[in-house]
Chain A
Amino acid sequence: MNSQHKNYDVIIIGAGHNGLVNACYLQKAGLNVLVLEKNDWIGGAAVSRELTPNILYSNCSYVCSLFRPEIMRDLELPKHGLQIIGIEGGTTFTQDGRYLANYRNYHSKRREMARFSVKDSEAYERYSRDVTRQCRFIQPLLMRTAPDPASFKSKDIGEIFYLIKQFNELSPDQMAETIRFWTMSISDYLDEYFENDVIKASLALSGIIGTALGPMSPGTAYVLLHHYMGEVDGSIGSWGYARGGMGAITQALSSSFKSFGGELITESEVENILIKNNQAKGVALKNGNEFYSSNIVSNADVKRTFLKLVDDKFLPPSFVKKVKNFKIRGSSGKVNIGLDSMPDFPAVPKGDPCIKGDIHFTDSIERMEKAYDDWKNGTWSKDPFLDMMIPTATDPTMAPPGKHFMSCFVQYCPPKVYGKDWTQEKKEAFGETVIKQIEDYSPGFREKIIHMEIRTPKELEDEVGLTEGNIFQGELTFDQLLFNRPVPGYAQYRSPLKGLYICGSSTHPGGGVMGAPGRNAAIEILKDLKKPTSHARSAYEVI
């Protein structure tokens, strides 16, 4: 057995964005950090890959909004080339040939909605006020470690009082609103504001993206919030593209990491984490190498970390059971397409920027919910919900002039079809379902395809290592949020084993390319190692 005797202060498993954020903060604090990545590329699910010559694909995550500006500043990511560009539009096509566009301009947006319902176009004002209130409530919590309510430590009690104080600052009516918001389905929530199906559908979609719930499931209003609480340059709820694709984020992180003196090794898949006397000792790689450190941070999800990388015998059975019970459900697939030219959407007038943003073909909540029913039955949706984008319409650096990369996020798609593994045939049928839906609204679309990559949750799991291919590393239901994420009692990035930490999206505050879990975990680790944390600024104040 080949072992490497260089001693590291910390070894991080996985070079996803959270792993890299974590690595940067630790390295910047003066620790000696090693990041191990199993693939020959880095970035996990935030990557830009040239899957066909000259076209870069954001083939996993495809838009960015949640990535915290505080982290970008702390780690000097702009200096390392990261730029986030705001998205210009967005549209929902209807089955009867109409479209509802979404623009950045307030009045343009209002008038668009007014084409479907004047009342709704004005009700949007109240709706967005109420959702903004919820965002403002949640935002300060993202960059804090969740307290353990069962603990009597002064730190936890203090943090609980902070939460209570935050909540108490709301008026009684707003408290009631907040409780309702967190427990309602997005469908019921929207019914309280809007009357038009298309408008409701265009707003409901944020309530289901990436989650194994339908728009009529309670709890989806919170999922909507999770997508809204991000910001691009202070405009809450708006989304952006990373210039050069989502890989630009992880490239900047890795460059920042290296500039602080960190070491990153690719093609090094960790076989298991070495444990001795209840204390992490190092990692053993598939290729036989071993690296030693008494602090191991796993960027993998909680299931992969504790059920695959750590031997059961080292962990308390009750903890293992809780991890097994953690819900990670693959519910979405992706079809990534290289295009010869920009697709036509005859419903939209020429030059309208709404197709530069997110494009949807699901015009009613009922269709979304039916798509979810298919998934519950064990198969992919026959009339899926697509969140489609053409980043190259905004960012010319990703493809040669005239050529385009199109990202289709597809909901719902199970990790197994009727309990059986995906086959090539099924995969193609799944891709065909998607192409067909697009073609209904964009005649001649099929002819423009140069290259296509179909990704089911299985590919996402095999390649990136996300259990069941769930993009959030775990469902965003209330039982798995805050102090319950990933499991009660271990929501502070630590594990039952000394020196073993987790920093992926399985932890608070959860998924989306946010970076906050990695940063929060770094702070906890630094506290354990009695190192300064002053280089990690606290969350920008929400006023």
Chain B
Amino acid sequence: MNTMNHQWQRFTLKQKLSRYAVYLVLIMAMVQSIQSVEVIPEFFFDAPEQMADMFSRMWPIDFAYYPVTVHDAMIETLNIATLGTLVTLIFALPLALMNASNIVASPWVHWIARFFLVSSRSVNSLVWALLFVSIFGPGVIAGVLAIAFRSVGFVGKLLGEAIEEVNMGPIEALRATGASWMSVLLKGYWPQILPAFFSIVLFRWDINVRESAVLGLVGAGGIGVVLSDSMNLFEWQRVAVALLSIFAVVIVAEIIVVNIRKRLI
């Protein structure tokens, strides 16, 4: 008879309690933050007016400025993104191999690889750019290295996961023929991770196009330099051109990547 009166519940008591604990902590953090954050309310209520003012200054858009500087800067931005993505591979491939448990079994190597991957992801690309600008001086090289160092964590992590998911059958078959370590990598693992590899690299390239557009704000080359220069001179109509061209390039890059990835997978 007990089953008749049994009340079905989706979650256990412990699950419920821990969920409520998360909600509670979040609400407490929110209340605490709102009380202590320094926000001037007048600025907040003034915001729509100021935004409208800013956009009205952008009009009419100064399209004549595009061929003067924006075009070259845009090409430079694309080059930074592409070259940065290629340089990433030099670091990301060994780290991905070190991070994959079916290639290297030692936990020490995993920890070393993971340390590099996590620190690459933790430091924002703008911060990497600041570091490299102070090393190499303002210019493209700082941008390329910033993009490269930032992407290592992303590419290395996803690539390592792709390597761990390969079918071990062909690899054992190759090993049984007495193939060398390099041959097993090239003819066993590589063909299997090829689609994942290209899709990860393209995905990262898409992100890098967005990121390289802002690196110029700290002096690392590309369209960001034009953007920050025109902004410092209050040339809002030129700012609008730069923003519009970034918008267009980002959209085109995304469309290209989505279409190639559709065919790959």
Q: Does B associate with A?
A: no
User: Which residues of B come within 8 Å of A, CB atoms?
Assistant: none
